[in-house]
Each structure stands twice: as C-alpha cells, then as structure tokens.
C-alpha cells in the first residue's frame, strides 16, 4: 500500500520545510548536482510532480520556458505557489497521480525523492503516464535517498529499478553516492551539444 495523503498533511502541519530543504547542506548540494546533471541549458516544458514546498522548483524554473509543479498536500501547494509567485511561467497544481495526470507533453519529468512512498505497481502506472507524455526527445531525471525509510513500500534502488524496467529508455546518466542515486533516461541518445553557446 502506498503512503496516504494524510501522512504528508501531518508533516506540513508541523513545519513549512519538513525535510529541511532550505537548511541542510545535503539538500543544497543535491539540488546543485541535480541541476548540473541536466544536459540542456533550457527545456521547453518541465513537469515536477511531488514538488513539496518548491525549493527544487525554484531552480528548475530558471531552466525552462514552462514549469508545471504538482503536489498531493494542499499546504505544500500553497507554500510552492508563494515560493514561485514571481515566475509567471510556473504553475503549481494540487493533484494525486496517476488520476490527475496533466494534459500535454513534457521535455523533462523530474522525480525527486518521492517515488519510494508508492508501491511498485502504483509507481508503474505513473511511469506509463510519463512515457506517454514525453516529447520525442524527452527525458526523465530521478533522484532518491538510498537508506531505508520507515513505512515506505520501496527503497531508492528499487525505485530506480522499477523506472528502468517500465521506461525502457536509454539511461544517459548514472551518479551514485552512499546516500543517494541520481539517474537520467532519455529518448534521445545524443549527448550534450558541444556547439551550444551559453545563453
């Protein structure tokens, strides 16, 4: 069984930053690595489900023409909207996947630190929706904590195994550390454009 929405409501009822995204060096460094892992300077449209309070979203907003964020927790959505209020190209929605999967295509889907709250079957349904909504050169970036989390149906390594199995796309990035795993799968096998100028 996947972790319920009430679990996240309780977390945000006690803190605006329950995972200390703003204050932990681990989180700051991981965000820097996540952004550095993106091979393109800029993306057309990014989807970030599980956006929490919008800390990673704020950085993703700098790298795209349109960013769609979503979270299950109403409080998280309010916090993310406040955090991103200065960015007209960003939309933050409340929703539960896969039921509330958004319309349109995405160049990049970012799955950061939430898929282990789901069962493999529930996550597999979401991955199918991801595959269906990617542009022809779309990509999926995933980053997850590798240590056990009490009450979670999966651990980080298992999350990425499920992703690899269901996506059936080329893995273009693999960065493993003691604490987390950062990987990317892409429909476009090409690497970084060495002729692209800095904008």
Domain extent listing, the chain: 5-186
Separation of alpha carbons 180 and 91, rounded Å: 28
Given this model, what pLDDT does residue 192 score? 74
Given this model, what pLDDT does residue 19 score? 59
Distance in Å from the first CA to the final CA of the chain: 46
Separation of alpha carbons 158 and 117, rounded Å: 12
Given this model, what pLDDT does residue 14 score? 72
* Dihedral, CA of residue 75, residue 46, residue 147 and residue 159, to nearest 10: 110
Given this model, what pLDDT does residue 1 score? 43
Separation of alpha carbons 8 and 52, rounded Å: 9
For the chain of 199 residues, list the mean pLDDT of each consecutive stretch of 10: 61 65 84 95 97 94 98 91 95 94 97 92 95 96 92 92 94 95 90 74
CATH topology of domain 5-186: Rossmann fold (3.40.50)
CB atoms within 10 A of CB 81: 16
Phi-psi category of residue 195: left, alpha or beta, with phi > 0 → left and psi -120 to 50 → alpha: alpha
């Amino acid at each position: 069984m996947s972790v319920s929405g009430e679990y996240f409501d309780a977390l945000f009822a006690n803190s605006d930053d329950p995972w200390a995204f703003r204050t932990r060096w681990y989180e700051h460094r991981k965000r820097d690595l996540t952004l550095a892992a993106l091979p393109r300077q800029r993306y057309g449209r990014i989807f970030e489900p599980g956006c929490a309070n919008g800390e990673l979203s704020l950085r993703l907003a700098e790298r795209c023409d349109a960013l769609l964020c979503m979270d299950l927790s109403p409080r998280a959505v309010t916090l993310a909207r406040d955090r991103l209020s200065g960015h007209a190209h960003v939309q933050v929605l409340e929703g539960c996947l896969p039921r509330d999967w958004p319309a349109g295509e995405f160049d990049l889907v970012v799955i950061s630190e939430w898929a282990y709250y789901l069962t493999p079957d529930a996550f597999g349904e979401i991955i199918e929706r991801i595959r269906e909504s990617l542009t022809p050169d779309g990509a999926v970036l995933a980053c997850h904590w590798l240590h056990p989390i009490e009450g979670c149906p999966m651990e980080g390594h298992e999350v990425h195994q499920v992703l690899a199995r269901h996506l059936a796309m080329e893995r273009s990035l693999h960065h493993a550390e003691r604490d987390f795993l950062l990987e990317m799968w892409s429909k476009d096998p090409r690497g970084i454009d060495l002729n692209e100028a800095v904008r």
